[in-house]
Structure 1
Amino acid sequence: MSLKQTLKKAKQIERQLEQQDATGAEHSLGAVKPRNYLALDPLLRKGGIHEKEDIDIVRKKRRRETKQQLRQTDWFLE
């Protein structure tokens, strides 16, 4: 459902509620509130896994490899 359709549906629900109030229909304590379709719109949800950028991952991997190479070298022979 697109954002435009969602907003249209929300307005329809608001109009229906206003008409019910105008006709004198009283809300009982057990009345169910109308669903907020705008809150369910996929455009307003969080997107995907929040991962670091690929550049950061490559740099971190390269740095780790460099540190391992430096630990393996024998500094006394050089």
Structure 2
Amino acid sequence: MSLKDTLKQAKQIERQQQQQLLNNVKPRNYLALNPLLKKGGIHEKEDIDCVRKKRRRETKQNLRQTDWLSE
């Protein structure tokens, strides 16, 4: 078997595997999309990054407003 034939067979096998992957799509789990199973209300965590960003912005504004020369 020549190198050319081997490469042809390899390409054919790859195409077959790709077609099989495309055909084997997992069905969607609709139970996981149920709103009762999602987080919410009291148990939902605050976005820590947003809180830190807001605090930092307020601190910077306060520092800009202070008159450093008069102290």
TM-score bracket for this pair, using the shorter chain length = 0.3 to 0.5
Structure 1-normalised TM-score? 0.35
Greater fraction helix: 2
| Higher relative contact order, chain-length normalized (CA < 8 Å, sep 6+) | 1
Q: TM-score, normalised by structure 2?
A: 0.38
